[in-house]
Structure 1
Amino acid sequence: MSERSWLAAYPEGVPADIDASHYPSLVTLMEEAFAKHAGKVAYSFMGKELTFAQVDAQSRAFAAYLQSLGLEKGDRVALMMPNMPQYPVAVAAVLRAGFVVVNVNPLYTARELEHQLKDSGAKAIVIIENFAKTLQDGMHGSAIKHIVLCAMGDELGLVKGALVNYVVRSVKKMVPAFSLPGAVRFNTALSQGRGAAFVAPSIQPGDMALLQYTGGTTGVAKGAMLLHSNIIANVLQSEAWNDPVMKQVPAGEQPTSICALPLYHIFAFTVNMMLSMRTGGKTVLIPNPRDLKATLKELSKHRFHSLPAVNTLFNGLANHPDFGTVDWSHLKVSVGGGMAVQSAVAELWLKKTGCPICEGYGLSETSPSVTCNPVNAKAFSGTIGLPLPSTYVKLFGGDGQEVSEPGQPGEIGVRGPQVMAGYWQRPDETAKSMTADGYFLTGDIGTMDARGYVKIVDRKKDMVIVSGFNVYPNEVEDVVSNCPGVLECAVVGVPDEKSGEAIKLVIVKKDESLTEQAVRDFCQANLTGYKRPRHIVFRSELPKTPVGKILRRELRDA
């Protein structure tokens, strides 16, 4: 295919390239926002608002506190919290002090936490008390010397904060007993930091900003080294891509995004938190998006323009009885990522909100966004869209050569300013994942049409081979999701004596009257013989990561 043939399909006004050198560091980007938007609300959380000026003051104090501990430039600081204001304050503080953020999934087991703490070499951790017992059990053998404990009510003021903390600790019993001698409370650290000196270090574009561990769904979790320049590039790419619809927000109205994805996940880190810093936007923090009723109640209080989410969340919201209590009329962009968006979900979302889901694609290793559908599209394309500005995508065949014919599958390779510097302390893994000409090999198999639209056919390892025929689970799932009575579904391959592998389909019902025969009839009408499921299982729910990605591995193992 000709070099960047997809540029012809770009929406009007979206540039071919962005200037990734616009900011020398994320600190410069954030400090510009603190100065420019000081009086505006940066974060809204449980009815409490935090302005850009407050985030500036708190993060500066917290940065001074961290420096007072004797940490040195480049030291790693782990953050283990759900969506709460202490998280963005801590991120700004860690980066301003010249340290590296290590994002930790707060739902990790002690074993998973232990691996990440040891692997990253983090010397300090900021953690919500709910998971302090996990830290107590999982920090053995790690380099952790300093612990800062947060509570859900820290930022909510004296009365409301005390009430929330009482409910969390004593009524809902969400804080198991723990012993962490020497741990300091978040608000104590802030007050100590206000009296300490802060020395702004020199930070270069090539300095590491994040150690972002890949989900671990592919084996042992590895740390992707994301530089300041990587995240800046992806923020500017995302801003340029969203501009055709975001410029429709009336002048004087603050752009507002809903952050229902966890901020420790790179998707929300970049497209919610850092992009909102860049645009002076308000971010509404949703601590637990799995509680759909509480999420919709919070959404009903805001006028918002942007909602990045995964397919499972769009589906859950659109099918919830309280969906109509929210004013969706100002929503300009619904970005779907993290997993394939199903056509049935996209159709329902468009019908109910009038705002199409723009499916995109990215990885921890690419900060994360690589491709996205045009935000001004009116129909669901079933693809992951076009490569973003300054991004080059090639498909590689099994021989390592570029696939030249449109529609021919190959492994997706990505080159651009958002691609990581490599895997932390894993030069062998880094070498395996990069081509000689600088393309990162994603492990995802895709096709590209003549216009440059990319479609994922699946991960290398998720492909099922039935009697020599390749079956891609995404395709079968997309078909079955349109079967009346199906709420969610997932497909895996299981061993089979006759065909080598067979298709196993796991379904969560929307309608209890749905039968196995009805599903089989639907599949017979819509799928060729070898793609039809041999085994059909009904379950009350599907196993998922905290981001909402379906864990096919667990279904396979079951």
Structure 2
Amino acid sequence: MRPNDVSLQSLIGTDTAAGPAFVFDGTPVTRAEFSSKVEQTAAWLAAQDIDKGDVVAVWLVNRVEWVALLFAAARLGAVIAAVNTRYRAAEVAHLLRLSGAKLLVVEAAFRSIDFAAILADVDKAHVPALRKLAVVGADAIPAHWPSVAFDAFTADSPPAPPPQDDVDLPVLLYTTSGTTRGPKLVAHSQRTLATHAAAVAKALALSPRRHSLLALLPFCGTFGMTGLLAFLAAGATIHVLDAFEAAPALNILGTQKITHSFGSDEMFRRILALTDAPRPFPHAEMFGFAAFQPGWRELAAEAEARGMSLFGLYGSSEVQALFSIGRAGDAFTDRIEGGGWPMSPDARVRIRDTETGASAAPGVSGEIEISAPSRFLGYFNNPDATREAITADGFFRTGDIGRLRGDGAFVYETRAGDAMRLGGFLVAPGEIEDELKSCDGVADAQVVAVDLKGQARCAAFVIAAGEPPREETLIARLRERLAGYKIPARIYVVEAFPVTDSANGVKIQRARLRAIAMERIASE
């Protein structure tokens, strides 16, 4: 296969495209306009001394500039590090340090997010590679680094350098949960992204004249980016929300005759709650959902009765979102389960018994292992973690528990280990624990997931160092440093953590901590 066939650029030139590539806030962007934007952006990046192998961090909401930056970076052989707009100082600093980003493209402002204030809390010494900020929507923002306006394109700007043709170099870095202070960076190439986008478009039989996508999810994550690239590959129009809100989503779903959308169960729950119409989405064909909240089966049944067919799916940063999905021919109870049928005919899924290490038979639960063209290159600048994640024969150890169905599909059951799903994102307790341990008056900390009035939240237990800290003080400090969905709903001061002695040492009983937290919350 020629490099151009698996480049990001190959996704733009669909001859059968029937309408604009994107619609951002009601404004259409044709494929020709987007291609021109990519050329301009590549020239601008080159003028900022961005070259092959350089990393550009992108801290933007869903806008055309985000996508243009990714395609322009691919043209230059540069790398985009995706920054979640919900991140705060500690998380942004970690990502910038880990990626070695030379340039940060950032919003001037968005709703209540004060990007300048967050950057002011980032120690410049901790991110030595960062040279400059490029601000979208303003000439500059107050920060430790020089700022330029991102949209400073002029008619006499020099043209972009000749395109790079190495489609197997890293081009996009997603964050994924780690077991220590911060997440790892998952590296994907043009080949892994474009090949998977084409596979999704083919598996879903997407038609540019019949189908359209409502993009609900942020481009900074694989869940949002994969859907966008797949519909771009299909030549179908993509309607984009800059950030999810139920009311605008409901309006676009109805007025634009949207056929497909992908999101969390909570997103679709909020959309349905805004309308009393018995069947409000007559054009809906496939709404893929990830189940993060209790009651998702009841939601799926209600949605089905109202003409919104929900399809369970599976994915991760390492194998990309929409790796698999349920099929229309599946029984309802099977179709809504996480997992489903792999999009790529070249993908392989197997289950490994977590105790014996043997391959598990259909119906037997174990760790899900995946080999697929969509598999990541590795963890960026982290060869040790990459070796641990990949088997000798090239399968990715997902850390997820599931089972084979026996008909070619599989079922995702739960996440192995202690990672928590908060706000739709996978979060390692260590991220929050380390921030708590950096607070005055905290000697040690443990964080566990809890169910608080039907919402996935976390609770923390801390051991005091001297005078016990006040819960309000700790929460205020965490709000300065972490995204809101990572803030514990409760923080309890304890004298010691429950532990178990084993041959491998003393282990903290997280299950017991979770039970204690739920008991205390119930008593409140």
Which of the five TM-score ranges fits, normalised by the shorter chain?
A: 0.7 to 0.9
Between 1:207-216 and 1:387-396, the stretch displaced more is: 207-216
What does residue 79 of structure 2 align with?
100
8 A Cα contact 1:395 1:410, kept in partner: yes
What does residue 477 of structure 1 align with?
none
**Aligned match of 2:133 in 137, 147, 157?**
147
Query: CA offset at residue 370 of structure 1?
Result: 2.8
Query: CA offset at residue 322 of structure 1?
Result: 3.2
Give per-residue Cα distances to partners, 1:351-372, cap 9 Å, x unaligned: 11x2421111010011233321
Equivalence map 1:205-354=2 (5 Å):
205-215=167-177, 220-243=182-205, 246-247=206-207, 253=209, 255-271=211-227, 273-289=228-244, 291-318=245-272, 320-322=273-275, 324=277, 328-337=281-290, 339=292, 342-352=296-306, 354=307
Distance 1:330 1:447 in 2: 33
What does residue 53 of structure 2 align with?
74
**Aligned match of 2:150 in 161, 170, 186?**
186
Ranges in structure 1 where 5+ consecutive residues have no aligned partner: 1-18, 155-174, 464-472, 475-491, 493-501, 510-542
How many percent of aligned residue pairs carry the same amino acid? 23
Distance 2:48 2:71 in 1: 17
Q: Specify whether residues 324 and 264 from structure 1 end up closer, same or farther in structure 2 by C-alpha distance, changes over 3 A only.
A: farther
**Aligned match of 1:359 in 312, 319, 323?**
312
Distance 2:181 2:303 in 1: 34
Distance 2:489 2:236 in 1: 36
**Aligned match of 1:440 in 386, 393, 396?**
396
Distance 1:550 1:402 in 2: 39
8 A Cα contact 1:310 1:547, kept in partner: no
Query: CA offset at residue 547 of structure 1?
Result: 12
8 A Cα contact 2:370 2:396, kept in partner: yes
3-state DSSP of counterpart to 2:154: helix
**Partner AA of 1:147 in structure 2:** L
8 A Cα contact 2:132 2:145, kept in partner: no
Distance 2:296 2:118 in 1: 36
3-state DSSP of counterpart to 1:40: coil
Q: Specify whether residues 218 and 408 from structure 1 end up closer, same or farther in structure 2 by C-alpha distance, changes over 3 A only.
A: farther
3-state DSSP of counterpart to 1:314: helix
3-state DSSP of counterpart to 2:239: strand
Give per-residue Cα distances to partners, 1:298-327, cap 9 Å, x unaligned: 434312111111111112212x23364995
Distance 1:106 1:132 in 2: 13
3-state DSSP of counterpart to 1:60: helix
3-state DSSP of counterpart to 1:23: helix
Give per-residue Cα distances to partners, 1:370-417, cap 9 Å, x unaligned: 321114546241342123321111111235633332211110000111
**Partner AA of 1:185 in structure 2:** A
**Aligned match of 1:386 in 334, 341, 358?**
341
What does residue 413 of structure 1 align with?
369
Query: CA offset at residue 40 of structure 1?
Result: 3.4
Equivalence map 1:97-136=2 (5 Å):
97-130=76-109, 131-136=115-120
Distance 1:336 1:552 in 2: 26
Distance 1:106 1:504 in 2: 24
What does residue 429 of structure 1 align with?
385
8 A Cα contact 2:76 2:164, kept in partner: no
Distance 2:402 2:485 in 1: 22
**Aligned match of 1:460 in 394, 416, 426?**
416
Q: Specify whether residues 305 and 378 from structure 1 end up closer, same or farther in structure 2 by C-alpha distance, changes over 3 A only.
A: farther
Q: Specify whether residues 503 and 360 from structure 1 end up closer, same or farther in structure 2 by C-alpha distance, changes over 3 A only.
A: closer
Query: CA offset at residue 219 of structure 1?
Result: 5.5
Ranges in structure 2 where 5+ consecutive residues have no aligned partner: 110-114, 422-428, 430-447, 456-478, 492-512, 518-524
What does residue 403 of structure 1 align with?
359
Matched, 1:26 2:5: no
Matched, 1:46 2:25: yes
Q: Specify whether residues 349 and 310 from structure 1 end up closer, same or farther in structure 2 by C-alpha distance, changes over 3 A only.
A: same
RMSD value, Cα: 3.6
Between 1:454-463 and 1:259-268, the stretch displaced more is: 454-463
Distance 1:222 1:321 in 2: 38
Query: CA offset at residue 114 of structure 1?
Result: 0.5
3-state DSSP of counterpart to 1:430: helix
3-state DSSP of counterpart to 2:124: coil
Q: Specify whether residues 404 and 326 from structure 1 end up closer, same or farther in structure 2 by C-alpha distance, changes over 3 A only.
A: closer
Distance 1:413 1:82 in 2: 33
8 A Cα contact 2:353 2:360, kept in partner: no
Residue-pair matches, total: 434
**Partner AA of 1:306 in structure 2:** H
8 A Cα contact 2:74 2:190, kept in partner: no
8 A Cα contact 1:383 1:453, kept in partner: no
Query: CA offset at residue 444 of structure 1?
Result: 0.6
3-state DSSP of counterpart to 1:368: strand
Give per-residue Cα distances to partners, 1:491-526, cap 9 Å, x unaligned: x9xxxxxxxxx99653249xxxxxxxxxxxxxxxxx
8 A Cα contact 1:226 1:367, kept in partner: no
TM-score by length of 2: 0.74
3-state DSSP of counterpart to 1:385: strand
Between 1:255-264 and 1:385-394, the stretch displaced more is: 385-394
Indicate the structure with greater strand content: 2
